Amino acid sequence: MVSSNSFTVGKLDAGMAILIGERASLIEFPSVLLPAGITTGSIVNIAVNRNQQAEKEHAQAFWDLQKTILDTYGIDSPKQPAIRVRNTTQTSVTIEWDELELATSNLRSLDLYRNGQRLSAISNPDNKTYKMSGLSLNTEYSFQLIMRTTAGVYPSETIKVKTHTINDTTGIRVAIGAITDEKLLDSAKSAIEEMGAQYQDKVTIDTTHFVCSKPGPYNLSEYQKAVQHSIPIVQPQWLLACHAEKKMVNISSFYLGGPMPNVKFESRSSNNVTDATPEVNGAEAGPSEQPDKPEQPEQPVEKQDPATQEALNDPEGGPIDGIPPAVEDDEETKQTKNAVRKEIEEAERQATDAAYGHEDEDVAGREGRDDMRTFSFPRVTAVPEEEQRPSSTPPDIRIINEDGQEQIMAEGLADYDYGDGEEIDLNDDDEESVDSSQE
């Protein structure tokens, strides 16, 4: 349907024309749409018709766009995080969660709440694990993750977990390093299985202890990782003690490098008793590389008189209840302890250098300062020539301090011509006393 109306052209300029209708109605009309030659006073007819086909096409395009928006952003929405407990000990809880489902939204923050209070912001949600330490023994806690996205806030389910009692050993997670004694290694693994604990070769977020009898060479990289993450490094006898006591035993007496405890392993499923004292030899073997140790002849037990025995059992201040008397180690045990202690110090030094990048120049500087301090002792004595030493080394110099303790120094004063057993008082500046000493 087409309708037509007549208008008289009123004011006319280059951009706009004023058209006057039959009922004195005024409309503004673009001048470029008027026929050529139109002037003020001309009468024009304007016809208007409806384009329904164009309306249908426009409406269809509009609804197609709405459907695309709905399919893209309206069907899939973010889901609440799925959180669960990964491991529990007496003083720690490790939680984990599935990969976050954000749909088409963006993550704004992920926060961990403990007992209803915000504990920490998860800086890297892709790790999907978080460990909380320093918790109280045998105490119940609640945990929840709250995920904030551009599509809204999505809290997880609240989970409740109770830390273990001192008698619960199922939370122990150990990484096993170099244990040179095969019997001790087997006993430690059996104790772990019977306690319901777990072990592996790698250090992870669940690792509670690193167990070894020496730093390496087996699994040395994991030993260094345990040092960097401040994971307790204990001897295998600690596991046997926990198994025997059926509870978590204090680790202070089982640190690597300390005394070697003599703990016997007795399986709970049998009456077999295994002596867990490590068999010491000089091999650098891993858990599966232990060579056979030759049998040693039995040494006769030297009997001590009652006075000597009483002196050994009576330390200064009298004996202490609950603490056995100290027994002096034999020469082989002393050498083994010294060797293990040196390996531990070297491994810890390498781990520290790897973590903090200490320069060799700093070590050289410290050694130089240590050499300078050796000259502060008041008396120097040459080692007698009849003492055995490698022929390629210069004569050693024995430095004796004020307390009567002596220290061997192979360099620095070797060029001086000392006689056997000769002593020089470095604090005496009197030339006469020096001359008489040399004579």
pLDDT in tens, 281-302: 433 334 434 444 444 445 444 4
Q: Same domain, yes or no, for 134 and 156? A: yes
- The tens digit of pLDDT for each residue in 68-87 reads 988 888 788 899 999 999 99
Q: Which of 162, 184, 205 delimits the end of a domain?
A: 162
Do 112 and 141 lie in one domain? The reply is: yes
Its sign, for the CA torsion 243, 244, 247, 250, is: negative
Sign, CA torsion 69/72/77/81: negative
pLDDT value at position 171?
93
Q: Looking at the domain assignment, is residue 295 inside a domain?
A: no
87 with 146, same domain: the answer is yes
Residue 393 lies in a domain: no
* Cα–Cα nearest to 278, from 215, 193, 189, 186: 186
Q: Is residue 198 part of a domain?
A: yes
Closest-CA residue to 167 (of 246, 90, 255, 96):
246
Of the listed ranges 85-94, 132-141, 251-260, the one predicted with least confidence: 251-260
- Which of 142, 162, 182 is the endpoint of a domain? 162
Assign residue 229 the CATH number of its domain. Answer: 3.40.50.10190
3-state SS of 229-254 is: CCCCEECCHHHHHHHHHCCCCCHHHC
User: Is 391's pLDDT higher than 50?
Assistant: no
Report which of residues 8 and 391 the model is more confident about.
8
CA dist., res. 110 & res. 120, Å (int): 9
Q: Tell me, what's the pLDDT at 360?
A: 47
User: What local confidence, expressed as pLDDT, does residue 231 receive?
Assistant: 93
Task: Give pLDDT, residue 172.
Answer: 94
Over residues 332-340, mean pLDDT? 77
Q: pLDDT class for 275, splitting at 50, 70, 90?
A: low
Percent of the chain past pLDDT 90, that is, above it, reads: 40
Range of the domain at 194: 173-245
The reported pLDDT for the residue numbered 5 is 84
Q: Find tokens 């700093």 and name the residue.
A: 362
pLDDT at 21: 87
Q: What is the pTM of this model?
A: 0.50
Domain assignment present for 118: yes
CA quadruple 157, 158, 159, 161: dihedral, nearest 10: 170
Residue 57 lies in a domain: no
Q: Residue range 51-61: average pLDDT?
A: 93
Q: Is residue 291 part of a domain?
A: no
155 and 225, same domain (yes or no)? no
Q: Is the pLDDT of residue 373 over 50?
A: no
Whether the pLDDT of residue 305 is over 80: the answer is no
**Span of 127-141, 185-199, 418-432 with lowest mean pLDDT:** 418-432
Stronger pLDDT, 222 or 301, i.e. the higher one: 222
Whether 310 is in a domain gets the answer no
Q: What is the pLDDT of residue 50?
A: 86
Mean pLDDT of the chain: 75
Mark whether 152 and 206 lie in a shared domain: no
The sign of the torsion formed by the CA atoms of 58, 63, 66, 72 equals negative
Distance CA 268, CA 251 (A): 22
Return the closest-CA partner of residue 397 out of 367, 437, 424: 424
Residue 87 shares a structural domain with residue 151: yes
Q: Please state the rounded mean pLDDT for residues 165-185.
A: 92
Residue 327 DSSP code: -
169: closest CA among 241, 266, 103? 241
The mean pLDDT value for 234-246 works out to 93
Question: Where does a domain end: 245, 271, 298?
Answer: 245
Report the SS3 class of residue 333. helix
Q: What is the mean pLDDT of residues 343-362?
A: 65
Instruction: Based on the fold, state whether residues 182 and 240 are members of the same structural domain.
Output: yes
Dihedral sign for Cα atoms in the order 172, 175, 180, 182: positive
Contacts of 265 (CB under 8 A, 6+ apart): 187, 190, 191, 240, 243, 244, 273, 274, 275, 276
Residue 377 reports pLDDT greater than 80:
no
Q: What is the DSSP letter of 279?
A: P
In a domain, 97, yes or no: yes
Both 157 and 210 in a single domain? no
Domain CATH number, residue 130 = 2.60.40.10
- DSSP annotation of 68: H
**Mean pLDDT, rounded, for 304-330:** 50
Lowest-pLDDT choice from 29-43, 199-213, 323-337, 347-361:
347-361
Look at residue 420 and tell me whether its pLDDT is greater than 80.
no
87 and 148 share a domain?
yes
Number of structural domains the chain divides into: 3
| Residue 256: exposure state from Cβ atoms within 10 A (0-12, 13-18, ≥19) | buried
Question: What are 409's two structure tokens?
Answer: 């120094």
Asked if residue 124 has pLDDT above 60, the reply is: yes
